[in-house]
């Protein structure tokens, strides 16, 4: 990828993914129930080999995959991304037995994975987790709650982050692989603005042992951050996919809609706004690709670049979709319209996996770390 321009094969693959999302995945998404895990859609993602690509690819390929699917079917993109988010800690930090037991089913779309980090009192401040892992013989018992967990309470297993207390703050957190059928684990669905499956989890003495630990006791925060450093740029790619879909819809609409004696595109106010939407989308796309390239090359500045990519892309997508709605007028607010759908979808990425304010904090911290080092 020279100068962040995609090669011919990459462009063709992205085009195939967009067509696939529209032709094969969109019909399955439309049959799903909002707020519930769409298992037929997941199975199709597995059958098409797309879930395998999530676990066997680099950051750039993951970004291209998420951007392309988001353009044609946001539900398919989100289902794929959540499988990756929940399963990636097992891939990177799990034992051979854990990987063999769970990952084949995740890759095939038969088993649903979930990433359980956020809590009612610890969303953006991930180091402030309160879910307690109390010692119990050779293992622990989990006491507390998780909230805003994608795929909960329908997932087949959860990557759960709990406080084992080896040290204060982030250094006292351990990651556990917790099957959904463990005694004491319950959950309920939450009715959210966007149609994704999201819920809360309650842990009432849930037993976990050393065979359930991911990455070692006290290593949970590192496991979480390694996962988020990979997925944050790809959240930006999801946002870019939505922005590009909104932009293309706006171009088609303003080029054909007559008003004030001509087409909307002839009005300077409209044309300039569309130009701004396109420029911001392209800038966000390039920053996402740059962050993905940094991750794939092992660059030490991945946290800063990943935060920049997620920040700019999600804020840009909000801007583009909002202005797309404005240029379409009332038709875009009708239930079932592409932009009505995108307007509900685009808001959440500015919050999850680290809100925009958190990303700004990460960027500033990394910048000043560089000053101190010099």
The residues annotated with a catalytic role in the active site are 353
Going by their DSSP bridges, the two strands 139-150 and 185-189 should be labelled as unpaired
- Retrieve residue 44's tokens: 């199709």
Going by their DSSP bridges, the two strands 198-208 and 139-150 should be labelled as antiparallel
- Measured CA to CA, the distance from residue 115 to residue 356 in angstroms comes to 20
66 Cα distance to chain centroid: 9
- Measured CA to CA, the distance from residue 277 to residue 348 in angstroms comes to 20
Do 308 and 288 meet the contact criterion of CB atoms below 8 Å apart?
no
Break the chain down into helix, strand, coil percent, rounded to 5: 60, 15, 25
CA angle 277, 278, 283 (to 5 degrees): 100
CA angle 109, 113, 119 (to 5 degrees): 155
Do 40 and 210 meet the contact criterion of CB atoms below 8 Å apart?
no
Phi, psi dihedrals of residue 6, rounded to the nearest 5°: -75, 150
Region of 215 please: left (phi>0), alpha (psi -120 to 50) or beta: left
- Classify 147 as helix, strand or coil: strand
- Measured CA to CA, the distance from residue 84 to residue 274 in angstroms comes to 34
- Measured CA to CA, the distance from residue 151 to residue 136 in angstroms comes to 29
CA angle 247, 248, 253 (to 5 degrees): 95
């Amino acid at each position: 990828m020279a100068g962040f321009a995609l090669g011919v094969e990459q462009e063709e693959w992205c085009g195939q993914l967009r067509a696939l999302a529209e032709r094969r995945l969109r019909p399955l998404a439309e049959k799903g129930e909002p707020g519930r895990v769409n298992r037929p859609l997941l199975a199709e993602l597995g059958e098409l080999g797309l879930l395998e690509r999530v676990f066997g690819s680099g950051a750039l390929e993951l970004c291209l995959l998420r951007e392309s699917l988001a353009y044609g079917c946001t539900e398919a993109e989100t289902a794929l991304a959540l499988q990756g988010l929940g399963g990636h800690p097992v891939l990177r930090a799990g034992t051979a037995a854990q990987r063999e037991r769970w990952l084949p089913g995740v890759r095939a779309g038969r088993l649903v994975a979930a990433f359980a980090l956020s809590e009612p009192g610890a969303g953006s401040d991930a180091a402030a987790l309160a879910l307690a892992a109390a010692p119990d013989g050779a293992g622990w018992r989990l006491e507390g709650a998780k909230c805003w967990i994608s795929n909960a309470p329908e997932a087949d297993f959860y990557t759960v982050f709990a406080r084992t207390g080896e040290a204060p703050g982030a250094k006292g957190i351990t990651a556990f692989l917790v099957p959904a059928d463990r005694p004491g684990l319950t959950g309920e669905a939450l009715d959210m603005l966007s149609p994704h499956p999201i819920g809360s989890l309650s842990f009432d003495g849930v037993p976990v042992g050393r065979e359930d630990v991911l990455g070692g006791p006290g290593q949970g925060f590192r496991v979480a951050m390694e996962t988020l450093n990979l997925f944050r740029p790809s959240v930006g790619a999801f946002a870019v996919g939505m922005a590009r879909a909104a932009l293309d819809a706006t171009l088609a609409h303003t080029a054909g809609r007559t008003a004030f004696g001509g087409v909307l595109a002839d009005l300077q106010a409209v044309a300039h706004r569309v130009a701004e939407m396109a420029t911001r989308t392209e800038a966000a796309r390039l920053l996402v690709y740059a962050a993905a390239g940094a991750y794939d090359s092992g660059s030490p500045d991945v946290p800063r670049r990943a935060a920049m990519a997620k920040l700019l892309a999600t804020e840009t997508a909000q801007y583009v979709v909002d202005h797309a709605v404005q240029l379409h007028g009332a038709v875009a607010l009708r239930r079932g319209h592409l932009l009505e759908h995108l307007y509900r979808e685009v808001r959440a990425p500015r919050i999850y996996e680290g809100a925009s304010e958190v990303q700004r904090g990460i960027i500033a911290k990394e910048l000043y770390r560089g000053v101190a080092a010099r």
